Amino acid sequence: MKKLREQLLFPYTELQNISATEGDVIKNQSNDMLLDDYAFHKWYRFVLSYPPHLVRTYLKDFGISDGATVLDPFCGTGTTIVEAKRNGIQGIGLEANPFPYFACSVKVDWSIDPDELMDRALEIAEHTLLALKASGIDDNALFSKNNIDLRFLNPDASKLLIRDSISPLPLHKTLVLLEYLKQYADQPCYKYGVLALGSALVNSIGNLRFGPEVGVGKKKKDMPVVKLWLAEVQKMVNDLQSVAGIKPPECFVYAVDSRNLTRVLTPNSIDCVITSPPYPNEKDYTRTTRLESVVLGFIRDKAELRGFKQSLLRSNTRGVYKADQDDLWVANHAEIQRIAKEIEERRIALGKTSGFEKLYGRVTKLYFGGMARHFSELSSTLRPGAKLAYVVGDQASYLQVMIRTGQLLADVAERIGYRVERIDLFRTRFATATQEELREEVVVLQWPGKK
């Protein structure tokens, strides 16, 4: 075991010794992160996440400290909830997408002994390497015999993947590793191992690239899957060791639709909300996590995919269903109705006739209606004076018709009874389609409530 540890972990332990100070910045594909942001967040991070230091900014601005409860009703992979826990504040996260929900729930559970986690991971690695070697595959040397009998996903699951998002040999190795990992399903280490594999899949094992949209980059014929997985486990171990002896507040994560959150939240229990809901555009957020969701068994077929999509806020045309009625919530909102009408008129003028294009106007109304429904549902759970920060961005995805998301959401919230304190500029991004700078903003609200 000691020899295996040295062989597999030595190249990665050196990377963990980099010292970091607040203010040092790392630029990545999604946004800028401080080096001080990495602990726990980097166990698995949704590529479109906002940076953890933004959460710290608003926790400080709102005067939130221990004894308070912070909610993220669109928690994704847990940026707000993890950061709340790191700052000694109780957090509650809501997420309907299965894999991000799982990721967040693991990232806020610091109860496992880090040495036990590493020991179990090395056992799993050893079993996997021996099984691969017996079939003619040397994972460390990236060498394999010809005519290997490779494992594949079942056809229903394979159809859900973005084509070529993972090459056959890395997929085979991943499935072998997953088989041995599942033998520890009843042990505390299991969920950490699964999350580590999900992170390795999307960041190094697979062929995905992330820009404005998720796509396929250079195809990797082979990758050292076991080493890459252990590197992710090592990150977890280091972070867990850094909080040894500390008793942080317990955080809770629920798999629930943010428009039906009173199912899990009690009245007058929330002091603060920091979140980033989806924006109204053509990003299918389920595609961004599709590789790890499918390979690791969180989504097995189209029926399961459709089932959980129906519990998501409508923000793109691939998640719209005939029975949807959230648009009724904004039927009397003149500006939202005007924008939807402009989108439809432009579609007709341009001769756009696909089924998805015909839904552009409708999904815009469904999005803002869904958010109105969310704000209404949320209000009963807020304590009087609760502060809220919603990170959103302008959009022009629908035939270049500008949607000022922050301004519209502020108006929607105000009509329900929230007080709009201000709209802060978070950052700007240049849209090549419209040749305009689009604003990403933080809509700051307060719930007056009844005192």
Other CB atoms within a 10 A radius of the CB of residue 133 amount to: 13
- DSSP calls for 73-141: TT-TTTHHHHHHHHTT-EEEEE--SHHHHHHHHHHT---S-HHHHHHHHHHHHHHHHHHHHHTTEETTT
Residues 115 and 238 in one domain: yes
Residue 10, domain member (yes or no): no
Residues 326 and 449 in one domain: yes
Residue 105, domain member (yes or no): no
Structure tokens belonging to residue 296: 């690791």
Residue 164, domain member (yes or no): yes
Quick check: 82 and 107 in contact, CB under 8 A? yes
Residue 398, domain member (yes or no): yes
Residues 434 and 334 in one domain: yes
Residue 302, domain member (yes or no): no
pLDDT in tens, the chain (451 residues): 556 665 665 444 433 332 233 333 333 333 566 777 889 999 998 777 889 999 999 999 999 998 999 999 999 999 999 999 999 999 999 999 999 999 999 999 999 999 999 999 999 999 999 999 998 898 877 666 667 889 999 999 999 999 999 999 999 999 999 999 999 999 999 999 999 999 999 999 999 988 767 889 999 999 999 999 999 999 999 999 999 999 999 999 999 999 999 999 999 999 999 999 999 988 888 888 999 999 999 999 999 999 889 999 999 999 999 999 999 999 999 999 999 999 999 999 999 999 999 999 999 999 999 999 999 999 999 999 999 999 999 999 899 999 999 999 999 999 999 999 999 999 988 766 667 788 999 999 999 976 4
For 179, the 3-state DSSP assignment is helix
Residue 85, domain member (yes or no): no
Residues 114 and 227 in one domain: yes
Between 405-416 and 360-379, two packed helices, what is the crossing angle to 10 degrees? 40
In terms of residue numbers, what domain contains 409? 321-451
Q: Which of 184, 216, 242 corresponds to the end of one domain?
A: 242
Between 79-86 and 98-107, two packed helices, what is the crossing angle to 10 degrees? 10
Residues 348 and 451 in one domain: yes
305-343 as b/e, with b when 16 or more CB fall inside 10 Å?
Answer: beebbeebbbbbbbbbeeebebbebbeebeebbebbebb
Find where tokens 């015909």 sit. Answer: 358
Q: Which of 242, 264, 280 corresponds to the end of one domain?
A: 242
At a CB cut-off of 8 Å and minimum separation 6, what does 187 contact? 120
Residues 340 and 441 in one domain: yes
Q: Using CA atoms, how far apart are residues 157 and 140, in angstroms rounded to an integer?
A: 28
For 432, the 3-state DSSP assignment is coil
At a CB cut-off of 8 Å and minimum separation 6, what does 96 contact? 255, 256, 257, 258, 308, 311, 312
- The number of distinct structural domains making up the chain is 2
Q: Using CA atoms, how far apart are residues 400 and 422, in angstroms rounded to an integer?
A: 27
Residues 230 and 352 in one domain: no
Q: Which of 242, 262, 289 corresponds to the end of one domain?
A: 242
Residue 278, domain member (yes or no): no
Residue 137, domain member (yes or no): yes
